[in-house]
């Protein structure tokens, strides 16, 4: 397969630490160009990709005829604008989550994708990781009996108010930053959608620094209760549990940042004290994501996480914001 030439739109820390190295390491991909006006920031990328072409503006990178696919790690409020500009420039585009701040904004991206015949996707990397695929397989195989409850928690401690995740003008907040994981992981594994939701938020600096969500979801496994917690003011925690009447699937440690915060593993609890643990020490979900994107471009393979799925997660988030009540401690 001919390598897809990638350009990165902006020298974000996350791009430098995770996604650009993943593109550089992925089979069928070439980290070709970077758009940044800062030589200092560019140096962090050329340190591992010395032949990287540097453009001084986003527009220049989009105009580069050699660039086939663009990765967009810009602040949340810029995602829709630059995703549409990349598609208009004839580029396939992978945009960081959330690709939009409201579900209805995704419709215009889907329309532009379909009109152009190009691939546009959100960088929702967890669906490419084998630990989440195994959880889905176990649930569908009936390993835990009838699904009764799903709960998820994702927290970390961030007090830098200048960080874009703490800024309302940049589309910050715990739900937009990490709620996509507590919501989307449940939807991915179960294939279900929420039918009833309630939420409580703690607002801080104009953003939700804490969100507690509960509800009922319905789908191919029937109805079950759902609960989640996200926070940017608590100690690091990542855990998701799928609980049935005969067993439980549990992902803990670092299921959303697999092999970064902790070793990627998934547990199957059943038959009293029986626990089956499957570990994935070498799987890199960012590399797997880039490779899946490349196969879709070159071979026409269906992309595992289309925008229609992403819109469903955003619709769930929109509903949470609509029904949420503010609390204080």
Active site residues: 97
Q: Are 97 and 74 in contact (CB under 8 A)?
A: no
CA distance 177 to 186: 16
Please state the three-class secondary structure of 183-229 as a single string.
Answer: HHHHHHHHCCEEEEEEEEEEEECCEEEEEEEEEEEECCCCCEEEEEE
CA distance 141 to 138: 5
Give the pair of three-digit tokens for residue 250.
């549990």
With vertex at residue 108, the alpha carbon angle to CA 104 and CA 111, rounded to the nearest 5 degrees, is 125
With vertex at residue 269, the alpha carbon angle to CA 238 and CA 245, rounded to the nearest 5 degrees, is 100
DSSP state of 262: B
């Amino acid at each position: 397969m001919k390598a897809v030439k990638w350009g990165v739109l902006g020298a974000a820390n996350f791009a430098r630490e995770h996604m650009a190295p993943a593109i550089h390491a992925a089979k069928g991909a070439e980290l070709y160009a970077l758009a940044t006006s800062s030589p200092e920031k560019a140096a962090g990328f050329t340190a591992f990709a010395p032949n990287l072409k540097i453009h001084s503006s986003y527009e220049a990178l989009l105009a580069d005829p050699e660039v086939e696919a663009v990765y967009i790690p810009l602040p949340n409020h810029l995602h829709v604008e630059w995703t549409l500009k990349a598609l208009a420039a004839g580029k396939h585009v992978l945009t960081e989550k959330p690709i939009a701040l409201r579900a209805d904004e995704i419709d215009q991206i889907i329309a532009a994708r379909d009109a152009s015949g190009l691939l546009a996707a959100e960088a929702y990397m967890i669906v490419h990781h084998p630990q989440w695929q195994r959880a889905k397989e176990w649930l569908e195989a009936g390993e835990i009996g009838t699904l009764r409850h799903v709960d998820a928690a994702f927290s970390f401690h961030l007090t830098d108010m200048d960080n874009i995740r703490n800024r309302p003008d940049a589309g910050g907040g715990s739900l937009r930053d990490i709620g996509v994981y507590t919501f989307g992981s449940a939807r991915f594994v179960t294939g279900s959608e929420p039918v009833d939701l309630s939420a409580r938020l703690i607002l801080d600096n104009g953003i939700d620094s804490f969100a507690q969500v509960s509800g009922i979801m319905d789908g191919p496994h029937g109805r079950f209760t759902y609960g989640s917690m996200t926070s940017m003011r608590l100690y690091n925690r990542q855990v998701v549990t799928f609980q049935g009447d005969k067993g439980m699937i549990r992902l803990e440690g670092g299921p959303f940042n697999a092999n970064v915060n902790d070793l990627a593993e998934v547990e199957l609890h059943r038959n009293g004290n029986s626990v089956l643990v499957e570990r994935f020490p070498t799987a890199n979900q960012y590399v797997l994501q880039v490779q899946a994107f490349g196969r879709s471009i070159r071979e026409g393979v269906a992309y595992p996480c289309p925008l229609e799925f992403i819109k469903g997660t955003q619709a769930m988030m929109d509903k949470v914001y609509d029904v949420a009540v503010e609390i204080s401690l």
